[in-house]
């Protein structure tokens, strides 16, 4: 059964049960179906032939109903973040060749496309006899396209097909989680981030309820409020949430939580052990996967005893999920034996067929033994238990609160302002142990205000440096290149 | 110490942590209005405020801080216990 069939089945079986809780308002499966049907009707009435459609993603039922409407009708959705800079959004519109964008209300309008207001009023309900099965789904069609940080200053489009997503859903259920229509799932992610897809899609496949996080206020306090107030049973989070909550662990007791999953960043063993005391009845899992391999594709159930596999205090990313294959290769793309460190590469049905930009695909994919592998850029090795151990990056990609950031993308924009002075972006851990981006300029002329203004027009808020430092001359490593580690040491202490 | 005095001292802490010497907070200020007040800096602000006023917030108190005024009222209450 495809995930689409599962959702259609849930609509039929659980019409009166809650599907979403958004800002403390509940929406049933019946409500979700009506709103989705109204959106499909609007599309069919205005642009029936349009396959790829953008959605301005906000924390409202129309946003989720728009996603469901596009998926049920076999279309492709491209999430557009309302607070990202206009330049970046336009690059996404251009790359995805969008002609139509759905948004709730008329506040956000794009001049280059047809804008459709997704606002739902009961009078716009779709036909009562709406036939959900009227759309044959082409599994090779893209279900969504997400854009990640690109090293050349232009976001990178990752298309994920219905087949990729279906493979993820099948592999997810094969993990054997005990979830059903009584499940209450946390959805804490921006919808431009693919961990959101698991957080809304899996509960809708079983008739469970999705609890979203308010965009207002601080994310980690909002996450905790929802976990506690709604007795969440299944929560996928980024480890940064734990770092923020850590000093309050003694006040936290979440006995209803059954599954606590982490993804998006390295998971430290010490904080995870402390977290376990807050969630006495939950299993903890560390899951891993790049957007290119559809949400996540490796899992590590973290044992409650001291047998947990770690490397430098970081918990293992585990073994492949059903259908996926992971290998480690050297710089000549030759497979390495277990125990040797190299670049982690992935193959299998969850893997995208390539980026929208074919040149980028040529750099990131390679063939070995007749299989097309994706080079993750993550350095790893496989231990004696067959679990993969993460040990760093081959490039300058970092994770900021789970968001994937290419430091070279930030540097591209920094240099546009700083030239002829040299400029780099580094990460520094703040006193709460959270990674921050700092910019370092070679020279003494203060250009901080101009730099930050420029960046605000080009990159999302999570990519803007927390601090800008100046240094007369950059330290160099033995290869004569800027020594970023040394710069991080210098400014970590300052 | 009254709430106005607390606001002035909180303003000084925010200015230093967020590196904005000209920052002028009001009781109605929220994270949406103050550049740099993000999840990353929030805990640093909370820590520095706790040290400065020699108070300790509970998680349930922090969760209710929807603006600067609520934070100041909480500090005021703790200082006058």
* Domain count along chain B: 1
Among A218, A245, A430, select the one facing B31 at the smallest CB separation.
A218
User: pLDDT confidence of A401, banded at 50, 70, 90?
Assistant: confident
pLDDT for A174-201, tens place per residue? 999 999 999 999 999 999 999 999 999 9
* B contacts of A398 (beta carbons < 8 Å): none
- pLDDT on residue A481: 78
**In whole angstroms, what is the distance from residue A474 CA to residue A424 CA?**
10
For A363, residues 6+ apart whose C-beta sits below 8 A from its C-beta are none
Residues A172 and A27 occupy one common structural domain:
yes
Among A216, A219, A431, select the one facing B39 at the smallest CB separation.
A219
| DSSP output for A188-247 | -S-TTSTHHHHHHHHHHHHT-EEEE--SSS-HHHHHHHHHHHTT-SEEEE-HHHHHHHGG
What mean pLDDT do residues B21-39 have?
89
Nearest residue to A263 (alpha-carbon basis) of A241, A233, A231, A232: A241
Q: Is residue A433 part of a domain?
A: yes
Distance from the Cα of B43 to chain A's closest Cα (Å) equals 7
Residue B24's alpha-carbon distances to A388, A416, B31, B60, in angstroms, are 50, 32, 13, 27
User: pLDDT confidence of A494, banded at 50, 70, 90?
Assistant: low
What is the per-residue burial (b if ≥16 Cβ within 10 Å, else e) of A75-111?
bbbbbbbeebbeebbebbbebbebbbbbbbeeeeebe
- pLDDT on residue A493: 63
**In whole angstroms, what is the distance from residue A44 CA to residue A187 CA?**
29
* Residue labelled with tokens 């034996």: A337
pLDDT for A441-459, tens place per residue? 998 888 998 999 889 898 9
- pLDDT on residue A396: 85
Residue A173's domain is classified under what CATH number? Answer: 3.40.50.12780
Final residue in a domain of this structure, among A262, A295, A315: A315
Is the pLDDT reported for residue B64 higher than 90? no
- pLDDT on residue A123: 62
Q: Is residue A329 part of a domain?
A: no
CA atoms A374, A68, A217, A235: torsion sign? negative
Interface mutation target, options A218, A427, A428, chain B, most CBs of B under 10 Å: A218
**In whole angstroms, what is the distance from residue A157 CA to residue A149 CA?**
9
Q: Does A82 touch chain B (CB under 8 A)?
A: no
Residues A236 and A95 occupy one common structural domain:
yes
- pLDDT on residue A192: 95
Interface mutation target, options A247, A265, A431, chain B, most CBs of B under 10 Å: A247
Q: Does A245 touch chain B (CB under 8 A)?
A: yes
Q: Is residue A370 part of a domain?
A: no
Average pLDDT, chain A: 92
A193 exposure class (CB count in 10 Å sphere: 0-12, 13-18, 19+)? buried
Distance from the Cα of A399 to chain B's closest Cα (Å) equals 13
Q: In this complex, do A245 and B59 lie within 8 Å of one another by their Cβ atoms?
A: yes
Is the pLDDT reported for residue A134 higher than 80? no
Is the pLDDT reported for residue A128 higher than 50? no
What mean pLDDT do residues A140-150 have?
93
pLDDT for A323-348, tens place per residue? 999 999 999 999 999 999 999 999 99
DSSP 8-class letter at A305: S
Residue B33's domain is classified under what CATH number? Answer: 1.10.1200.10
Distance from the Cα of A222 to chain B's closest Cα (Å) equals 7
Classify A145 as helix, strand or coil: strand
Final residue in a domain of this structure, among A282, A315, A348: A315
For B57, which residue in chain A has the nearest alpha carbon?
A248
Among A245, A252, A436, select the one facing B40 at the smallest CB separation.
A436
Is the pLDDT reported for residue A95 higher than 60? yes
- pLDDT on residue A43: 94
Q: Is residue A344 part of a domain?
A: no
For A435, which residue in chain B has the nearest alpha carbon?
B40
- pLDDT on residue A215: 82
Is the pLDDT reported for residue B61 higher than 70? yes
Contact A462, A87 (CB under 8 A): no
Complex ipTM: 0.84
Among A216, A219, A248, select the one facing B59 at the smallest CB separation.
A248
* Domain count along chain A: 2
Is the pLDDT reported for residue A152 higher than 80? no
Q: In this complex, do B30 and A218 lie within 8 Å of one another by their Cβ atoms?
A: no
Residues A49 and A185 occupy one common structural domain:
yes
Residues A223 and A108 occupy one common structural domain:
yes
- pLDDT on residue A133: 66
Residue A12's alpha-carbon distances to A6, A200, A201, A370, in angstroms, are 10, 18, 16, 43
Domain ranges, residue B40? 3-79
**In whole angstroms, what is the distance from residue B19 CA to residue B1 CA?**
25
User: pLDDT confidence of A129, banded at 50, 70, 90?
Assistant: very low
Neighbours of A116 (CB within 10 A): 21
Among B42, B58, B60, select the one facing A218 at the smallest CB separation.
B42
pLDDT for A263-289, tens place per residue? 999 999 999 999 999 999 999 999 999
Lowest mean pLDDT among A313-322, B13-22, B68-77: B13-22
For B38, which residue in chain A has the nearest alpha carbon?
A218
Distance from the Cα of B8 to chain A's closest Cα (Å) equals 22
Domain ranges, residue A267? 3-315
What mean pLDDT do residues B17-38 have?
89
Q: Is residue A81 part of a domain?
A: yes
- pLDDT on residue A130: 57
A390 alpha carbon, distance to own chain's centre: 18
* B contacts of A467 (beta carbons < 8 Å): 19
pTM of the model: 0.91
Distance from the Cα of B47 to chain A's closest Cα (Å) equals 10
Residue A457's domain is classified under what CATH number? Answer: 3.30.300.30
pLDDT for A216-235, tens place per residue? 888 899 999 999 999 999 99
Among A225, A251, A430, select the one facing B44 at the smallest CB separation.
A430
- pLDDT on residue B20: 86
Interface mutation target, options B30, B35, B39, chain A, most CBs of A under 10 Å: B39
DSSP 8-class letter at A444: S
Is the pLDDT reported for residue A126 higher than 60? no
pLDDT for A472-488, tens place per residue? 889 888 777 788 889 99
């Amino acid at each position: 059964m495809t995930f689409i069939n599962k959702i259609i089945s849930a609509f039929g079986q659980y019409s009166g049960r809650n599907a979403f809780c958004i800002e403390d308002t509940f929406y049933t499966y019946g409500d979700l179906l009506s709103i989705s049907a109204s959106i499909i009707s609007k599309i069919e009435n205005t642009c029936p032939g349009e396959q790829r459609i953008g959605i301005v993603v906000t924390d409202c039922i129309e946003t989720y109903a728009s996603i469901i409407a596009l998926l049920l009708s076999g279309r492709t959705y491209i999430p557009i973040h309302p607070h990202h800079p206009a330049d970046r959004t336009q690059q996404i519109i251009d790359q995805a060749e969008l002609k139509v964008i759905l948004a709730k209300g008329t506040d956000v309008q794009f001049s280059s496309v047809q804008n459709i207001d997704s606002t739902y009023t009961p009078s716009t309900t779709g036909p009562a006899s709406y036939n959900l099965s009227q759309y044959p789904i082409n599994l090779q069609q893209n279900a969504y396209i997400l854009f990640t940080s690109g090293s050349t200053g232009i976001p990178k489009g990752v298309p994920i097909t219905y087949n990729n997503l279906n493979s993820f859903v099948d592999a997810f259920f094969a993990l054997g989680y005990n979830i059903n229509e009584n499940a209450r799932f946390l959805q804490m992610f921006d919808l431009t981030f693919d961990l959101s897809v698991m957080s809304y899609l899996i509960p809708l496949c079983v008739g469970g309820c999705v609890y979203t996080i308010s965009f207002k206020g601080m994310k980690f306090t909002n996450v905790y409020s929802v976990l506690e107030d709604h007795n969440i049973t299944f929560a996928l989070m980024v480890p940064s949430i734990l770092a923020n909550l850590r000093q309050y662990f003694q006040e936290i007791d979440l006995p209803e939580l059954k599954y606590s999953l982490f993804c998006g960043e390295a998971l430290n063993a010490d904080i995870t052990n402390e977290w376990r005391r807050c969630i006495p009845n939950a299993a903890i899992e560390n899951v891993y996967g790049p957007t290119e391999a559809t949400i996540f594709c490796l899992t590590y159930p973290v044992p409650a005893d001291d047998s947990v596999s770690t490397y430098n205090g970081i918990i293992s990313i585990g073994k492949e999920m059903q259908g996926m294959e992971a290998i480690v290769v050297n710089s000549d793309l030759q497979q390495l034996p277990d125990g040797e460190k190299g670049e982690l590469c992935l193959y299998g049905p969850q893997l995208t067929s390539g980026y929208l930009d074919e040149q980028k695909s040529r750099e990131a994919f390679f063939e070995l033994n007749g299989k097309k592998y994706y080079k993750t850029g993550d350095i790893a090795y496989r231990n004696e238990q067959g679990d993969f151990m993460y040990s760093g990056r081959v490039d300058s990609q970092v994770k900021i609160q789970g968001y994937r950031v290419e430091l070279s993308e930030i540097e591209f924009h920094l240099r546009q302002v700083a030239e002829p002075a040299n400029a780099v972006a580094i990460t520094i851990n703040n006193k709460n142990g959270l990674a921050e981006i700092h910019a370092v300029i070679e020279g003494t002329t203060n250009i901080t205000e101009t730099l930050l203004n420029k960046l605000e027009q080009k990159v999302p808020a999570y990519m803007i440096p927390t601090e800008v430092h100046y240094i007369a001359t950059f330290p160099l490593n033995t290869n004569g290149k800027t020594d970023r580690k040394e710069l991080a040491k210098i400014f970590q202490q300052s | 110490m009254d709430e106005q005095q607390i606001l002035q001292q909180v303003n000084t802490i925010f200015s230093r942590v967020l590196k904005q010497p000209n920052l002028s907070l009001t009781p109605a200020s929220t994270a949406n209005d103050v550049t740099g007040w993000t999840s990353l800096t929030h805990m640093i602000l909370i820590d520095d405020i706790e040290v400065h006023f020699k108070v300790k917030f509970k998680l349930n108190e922090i969760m209710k801080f929807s603006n600067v005024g609520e934070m100041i009222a909480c500090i005021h209450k703790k200082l006058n216990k």
